Amino acid sequence: MDSGSAAELMFGNSIPPIKISRKSFEMDEKKTFSGLTMGLKLTTLRVPTFVGTGCIFLASCAVSSAAPPNANDIAAITAAAPSIAARPAKARKILVYSRANGFRHSSIETAGEALTILGKKTGAWSTVVSDDPAAFEDLSSYDAVVFANTTGYALQPGNFKDLDEEGKKKALDNETRYKANLLAFVNSGKGFAAIHAATDTMYGWSEYGQMIGGYFDGHPWGSGDKVTIRVEDDKSPITKGLNGQSLTFNEEIYQFRDPYKRTQQRVLMGLDMEKTAPKNGMKRTDNDFPVTWVKTQGAGRVFYSSMGHNEALYSNSQVLGVYLAGIQYAIGDLKVDTTPIAQIPTQYSDMAMGEYALIPDAKNVAAGRIPTVFVRIFPEGNSNYRAVLLGLNPNPTAGAPNRVELTGTLKDNAIAFIGPDGASDIKANWSEDGLTITRGTEKPMTLRKVDRTSPTLGQKAPKNAVVLLPYSSDTKSQLQGPALTAWKNQEWIPLRDGSVQVRGGDNRTNEEFGDIKLHLEWLTPLKPEARGQERGNSGVYLQDRYELQVLDSFGLDSKDNDAGGIYQIATPLVNASLPPGQWQTYDITFRAPRLYADGSVAKTPTITVLHNGVVIQKDVAIPRSTGGAAAGIAAKGPIRLQDHGNPVRYRNIWVQELTDQPWTPTANPAPK
């Protein structure tokens, strides 16, 4: 045991190190610490026994300490617990198991009490609470096992490291048998439910990792951090009681590593990164932080929720409702769709990312006294961010640049941005409260985040339009995703949000078109560490020959291969991109090439493009086909959407054929 570790937990560094031996603690028959030698006193604490590291949990194991729930706590849990549950098919019994051979959460006793109350109040189950591995000798009387904040090698005795060799061998033999019993129990058609730290358990036992669906990989958000949990599947009986509403509270939120994959379980709830501040220690570059999921294991059922670190959550009626339904699913009394939903919900995936604006008084702007400032912030991976400042100088030709790029790193829930050489007098600071910009000795400017959306987003197809990809904002009508009947590649993935995700190669329309007005909506994923053409790359090919680039170009100084560019031909007039994870629109007017009777070109094609309602290409002549185009030139051709290996999505695609500029091929007056 480390010197002074128990005392330091209680008093910090204000006292000198004290040597504390294991024998300094007295334990009564109820396994509570009742005192400490040398005149120091401890609050009486319930503990199961010694933890697997061979140390008493209060000391060098850095374990949380709290008294078991008192009468007021129990009353609060009882009041918050739902009173109605799905009708059990028969009398049910669950084992709530809480052996913590690593970090021991102070909420363990509260969890056991809450699950006991849930079962009793609703009549859904009876409860046995235990931290004794021997409970796994015979599981035949149970309908489900619930791991409640277990940690470490939870099927070993807590004093494993203190055992002699014979004792260790016996304990390991028992552990092997208990593992087999648990797997056989679930595979046979029974249930396994798990709360919070259950993913911080049984490392090295791959079958357990596969069964629960992933392993703990740190918690960037601590117990005192305010977080918002979104509902990703509002059709599930487990989340039905939330009515699609998010949950906001203080809680420790996990991130997960292999074997976690969205393709192997159905994520029901996840961290809303638009409303939750990013934190140091975030390892997932896709910002995928699931909170609750369901899956199957053999013939059995698995439910997991990472909610449950803080005691307060066990008297939260919404959280208890999720626990109740989740455990009833695991038991087998609630039918739940476990089909994986592979995509991360479509929304901002980073609270700091977005557009910020300073909109001063119009008269001052006109007089040139206060510039209008516009800032785009986006993540670049590894807690690094870039801020692009536009409009700091209302007359950029007079000196200072109109575009300034600053960089910063997330630290202590804030980002301090600094400029490159030549712009060192400009600084910006982001926090949950907003963005401030300081230039030299000037008064700081406070900017507010703006939510810009395309004015044509969700626009309905006119009566004379050809609908290529139907869309409805009514999610009830999109349970199976949109039909791909107008397209050749049927491998693209229809999603429940009314979109399709690229897969298995490019996709072309069955029908060919000449002059058209085309409306389509697209969404790129957030890939902070990617650069250039790897940031959500796709493309819209008119007539299978002329590519309008689709890419995450938010905040970039646009080139002809960025979003809105006619690939390697024409740079967009302005960067109108929205952040990745947000739906964007293209409204395109395309005039097909005019051909002579011999097939030679009388007039090259032209294109006008509105990106999110902003004109970015105006009657641009396209002198040649772009890269990856179909051979030759034609008066008509299919529309092609590109699969460039990124999970880009499309929706609401329709086209109007234009007949206002008819063309009749004639003989070439100057044939070659």
Cβ proximity of 432 and 415 under 8 Å: no
Do 170 and 315 lie in a common domain? yes
Contact 282, 220 (CB under 8 A): yes
- Which pair of structure tokens corresponds to residue 412? 């202590």
User: Phi-psi region for residue 136, left (φ > 0), alpha (ψ -120 to 50) or beta?
Assistant: alpha
Tokens 């080139």 -> residue: 559
In which band, very low, low, confident or very high, does the pLDDT at 537 lie, cut at 50, 70 and 90? very high
Q: Regarding predicted confidence, which is higher, 421 or 574?
A: 574
Q: Measured between alpha carbons, how far is 648 from 580 in angstroms, rounded to an integer?
A: 10
Higher pLDDT pick, 351 / 257: 257
> Residue 585 falls within a domain, yes or no?
yes
Indicate whether 436 and 475 sit together in one domain.
no
Do 440 and 577 have their domain in common? Answer: no
pLDDT classification of 527: cutoffs 50, 70, 90 = confident
The residue range of the domain holding 371 is 354-450
Give the pLDDT of residue 634.
94
Q: Across the strands, what pairs with 433?
A: none
Over residues 300-332, the pLDDT tens digits come to 999 999 999 999 999 999 999 999 999 999 999
Q: What is the tens place of the pLDDT at every residue in 426-472?
A: 889 999 888 999 888 888 888 988 888 899 999 999 999 999 999 98
Task: Tell me the C-alpha distance between 255 and 241, whole Å.
Answer: 25
| 8 A C-beta contact, residue 289 and residue 270 | yes
pLDDT at 540: 97
CB 523 within 8 A of CB 591: no
Per residue in 45-65, pLDDT (tens digit) is 333 333 322 222 322 233 444
Tell me how many domains the chain contains. 4
The SS3 assignment for 66 reads coil
Task: For residues 37 and 83, state if they share a domain.
Answer: no
What residues form DSSP beta bridges with 278?
Answer: none
Calpha distance 445→356 (Å, rounded): 11
What integer pLDDT is reported at residue 280 of this predicted model? Answer: 82
Asked if residue 344 belongs to a domain, the reply is: no
Judge if 266 and 383 occupy the same domain: no
Do 94 and 122 sit in the same domain of this protein?
yes
Identify the domain boundary among 316, 331, 346. 331
Q: How far apart are CA 333 and CA 276, in angstroms?
A: 34
What average pLDDT does the segment 214-243 reach? 94
Q: Are 276 and 351 in contact (CB under 8 A)?
A: yes
In this prediction the pTM is 0.66
In a domain, 487, yes or no: yes
Instruction: For 87-131, give the DSSP string.
Output: PPSS--EEEEE--BSSS--TTHHHHHHHHHHHHHHHTS-EEEEE-
